[in-house]
Structure 1
Amino acid sequence: MSSQIPVKQIDPNPDASNNNKPETVELYASRKKIYVKEVKGLFQRIRFFSLLGLMGMYFLFCWITVNGQPLIHFDLPAREFHLFGATFFPKDFILLSGMLIISAFGLFFVTTLFGRVWCGYTCPQTVWTFIFMWVEERIEGSRNKRMKLDKALNSPEKVIKKSLKHAAWLAIALATGLTFVGYFYPIRELAVDLVTFDANGWAYFWVAFFTVATYMNAGWMREQVCLYMCPYARFQSVMFDPNTRVVSYDPIRGEPRGGRKKSASKEELGLGDCIDCGLCVQVCPTGIDIRDGLQYECIGCALCIDACDSVMDKMNYPRGLIRYTTENELEGKTSKLLRPRTFGYGAVLGLMIGAIVFTLTTRVAAELDVLRDRGALFNYNGRGLIENSYTLKIANLSEVPQTYQLSVTGLETLNLTTRKEVSVDSGEHLSVPAVVEVDPEVITETNNSITFRLHSLTDNTVTVETESRFVGPSQ
């Protein structure tokens, strides 16, 4: 229901008549469906390949396995996260934080340079919306045909086309939901368990949830998600400046706009290059007119650029009436690519990437924690040697089972009397009791530094050392 308020009209001649009635003004307008016209061009080819790559990665990565382990698998019950052959655990949360910071500053950095190119080419909402629009175009026809079909009375043809479209949308949404859950529940098992009803209730719930969410967001809500639900559209202006390259209409070249024949001279007619065809509005997925200037609804998809360029080609006018440009360039000023804000975002981005790369390259796929038995400082064994007891906490962070060799150094005659080899499954955390002995003749201090060493016999590149203390009698 729309709200209305009365607006009092001021009568320029109040003595003439007292019969003026208040006028009603609509505060809220109902949504008008946007019929997007299909257009081809350079930027649409770029989007096609970006969409192909992103969709290929999304739908294929969950099926690829490395050493029997999915390429990407978030195993929440086991608290293990398998990514591209490496296993991470909750203690590696700092890496996730770093990746999120990199993503945020990467987005800020790109936005200061090129505006909302993320929204136009790689945002999931944009990607799935364009897929759904492509399906709609194939089944229901061109923009004009879709408009006529929606206005027409129900008929067998209309019912069939609408049913096919929504069936195709639901199939894509189901594949999306199944794939998403497949990153948390191995998809080869998930596909079988769902069909045989062996999957747990949560699996069915989340597949259904993401199916419905995809169907509603990309099929029904579309631009409403970008306009009202996405916060990026609201705070993007904070990162814009006169040097940010965004989709813009050139009013100096285009105005005054007006229709004309191809053979007519725009100079004689006193018109600019814009022939006021409205094609830039018809192709816009958010329904705006780019000629009205920069608007928060613009997602930088460049559909209007390709549409306008096609018109300019037909009129034999130069391309670029609508183009990626900056405010400074439109005003005839010099545009700067690098500026303090860009350097700031770039510096933070570079530092974070460097820190994450360093952490990942120096990360060892094993852990060794040494806990000294504090119940007794030391003991003498039957051979007169001094013993200390420890508990070794060994974690295998690799994707395959490992056999490790244990050793200890730091004092002469130091010897590990318990088992020196231990096998640990992938992702397993194992506690191993250890007893270390030494000849009392070599003890010169009460508290001595020793080092436990864990070396993988399966993978020679994996070696971990941890310091501990060996306690002996006071001298």
Structure 2
Amino acid sequence: MQVHRPAKDKPKGSAGKTAAARAAAEQKTGSLFSSYAARVKIQPRSVRGRYDNLRIAALVITQLVFFGLPWLMWNGRQAVLFDLDARKFHLFGAVLWPQDFVYLAGLLVFCALTLFFVTAVAGRVWCGYSCPQTVYTEIFLWIEAKLEGDGPRRRKLDDAPWSWHKLRVRGTKHVLWVLFALFTGFTLIGYFAPIRDLPMQIIHLELGPWQWFWFLFYAFALWGNAGFLREQVCTHMCPYARFQGAMFDKDTMIVTYDKERGDPRGSRSKKADPAALGLGSCIDCGLCVEVCPTGIDIRDGLQYQCISCAACIDVCNGVMDKMGYARGLIRYATENALTNHLDSKATAKRILRPRVLIYGLILLVLAGALVGSLVSRNTLRVDIIRDRGALSGIAENGDIENTYTLNLMNTSERPLVLDLGVTGMPELRIDGQTRIEVPATSNRMVPLAIHLPPTTTERPGSHNIEITVTPVPQEGEEDTGAKPRREGTVYMVPR
């Protein structure tokens, strides 16, 4: 299903001839042939249509989320903040700690399965509508088009000699690209440091070394990928383009050209009857090639460079409207639907095949498990650390003393008051304070000394005990009876 079109098979339309001529000019190496074709810079023509509107909507939504989330506040703090210094991740009302790494692993598995599910159903629609590389390339192309014009005008400017006009336009373009890239890098580090403090820290050069690195590195990478590499990232650097073929089958929805209806291709007047001329619906205008951001000809079949952006569908539908032909010469369809002439209802039934249903079921179960675990998790965590250097000791009053360190972790948005207790042996008691307060979304290390009278009748050696930590109900709250417990050990010296 994956076909790579050689350079000699360029379409006969104007777009194909232009690309072939440019490639030939750039491949003159003085040898009989070149093993590697030189890259032809792609300047896609802009297009308007239903799928272009969907891409713009996806672009606006994703960028509103990316640029807006760090500025939202929640209970007097940043709503989304991955505070690496404090080792706390704030996600609105949830506070995650390093011990919650399992949720990150579950989220990554969920994202991978979602990608498999979407690819099995609709091919590379993620690449065409929501991938950051696609989104930022669209933004950079929009800036470029506003300054330099549409695709043909940009190609003409590329071939023109350097002049004051070309220098001014290109310089302005790069200034705007760099400013946008810097703002994107600023927003990125705003997820890992309080974003409201960052402007003054940048002005006064007070960022830390790692913050400077990621701020400038991400801006530079965005400027290079979206401004220069563009489709090369999708076709050569992104692994998804390579392994997506393993997830495709004949019932995967892809962008496809209807050869049976479109061929033989050929130009004709609007009033001409294609049947009388022995031609199909394709007028061989080459516009589907000119609007393609990866520079392929969809009429040559499915190719791994296709990112399913549907720009060729929009432009082809516009041509069909002008010619008075039915739309859909290029459309979203499955290979089975195209070969067997299936209607939309039959196609939908085949899309909901066992693999898709299994992916969907696993996603539902995993999402339910993650959400349920987050909702029901205990907001108080207790870790007991024993001093391994000494088993026990004798206190000043003669008691047998064992020492521990309690790590009390409060993951809720309110402070907790905790009562400490110990059970498991008669006359066992805690020496010192037994009521502890832990501030909201923080942890506290508490030293704990457990005493046993020297007159105890218990045998020497080790004994299992339970250290209890009980939340005290605050005003207006009910006692939930929650008593997180952790087992400990008391060591006794021989009598």
Q: Normalized against structure 2, the TM-score is what? A: 0.82
Q: What are the within-5 Å matches in structure 2 for residues 7-406 of structure 1?
A: 24-332=32-340, 335=347, 336-370=350-384, 391-406=405-420
How far residue 389 of structure 1 moved from its aligned partner, in angstroms, is 6.3
Q: Counterparts of 1:165 and 1:442 in 2: how far apart (Å)?
A: 86
User: Tell me, what secondary structure is at the counterpart of 2:407?
Assistant: strand
| Alpha-carbon distance, 1:442 to partner | 13
Out of 434, 446, 465, the residue aligned to residue 431 of structure 1 is: 446
Counterpart of 2:468 in structure 1 is 452
Pair 1:466–1:283, CA change in 2 (3 A): same
Matched, 1:468 2:452: no
Q: 2 CA distance for matches of 1:198 and 1:219?
A: 29
* Superposition deviation, residue 390 in structure 1: 5.2
For residues 29 and 327 of structure 1, the distance between their equivalents in structure 2, rounded to whole angstroms, comes to: 30
> Aligned-pair RMSD on alpha carbons?
3.3
1:113 to 1:239, Cα distance in 2 relative to 1, 3 A: same
- Number of aligned positions between the proteins: 452
Q: Secondary structure at the match of 1:219?
A: helix
- 1:359, 1:171 → 2: CA distance? 42
CA distance in 2, matches of 1:104, 1:462: 40
Q: What do the CA deviations read for 1:375-433 (whole angstroms, capped 9, x no partner)?
A: 67899999x99997654331122355433344567899987664332122332232241
In the superposition, relative to structure 1, how do residues 171 and 457 fare at CA in structure 2: closer, same or farther (>3 Å)?
farther
CA distance in 1: counterparts of 2:317 and 2:98, whole angstroms: 52
The whole-number CA distance in structure 1 between the counterparts of 2:33 and 2:303 is: 24
| Secondary structure class of the residue paired with 2:71 | coil
Structure 2: gaps (5+ residues) = 1-29
Describe the shift of the 1:74–1:448 C-alpha distance in structure 2 as closer, same or farther (beyond 3 A). closer
Q: AA paired with 1:168?
A: L
Q: Secondary structure at the match of 1:135?
A: helix
Residues of 1 paired with 2:432 and 2:62: CA distance? 53
Give CA-to-partner distance per residue, 1:253-299, whole Å, 9 cap, x none.
11111111111112211211111111111100000000000000000
Corresponding letter in the other structure for 1:357: V
CA contact (8 A) 1:254 1:273 kept: yes
Cα pair distance change 1:149/1:418, threshold 3 Å:
same
Q: Distance in 2 between matches of 1:198 and 1:369?
A: 36
Letter in 1 for 2:180: I
Q: Distance in 1 between matches of 2:445 and 2:392?
A: 24
**Deviates most, 142-151 or 43-52:** 142-151
1:371/1:150 CA distance change after superposition, 3 Å? closer
- Using the size of structure 1 for normalisation, the TM-score is 0.85
State the alpha-carbon separation in 1 of the partners of residues 187 and 489 from structure 2: 53
DSSP 3-state at the match of 1:62:
helix
Q: By how many angstroms is 1:121 displaced?
A: 0.7
1:203: how far off? 2.3
Distance 1:282 1:442, change over 3 A: farther
Secondary structure of the 1:274 match is: coil
Aligned to 2:7: none
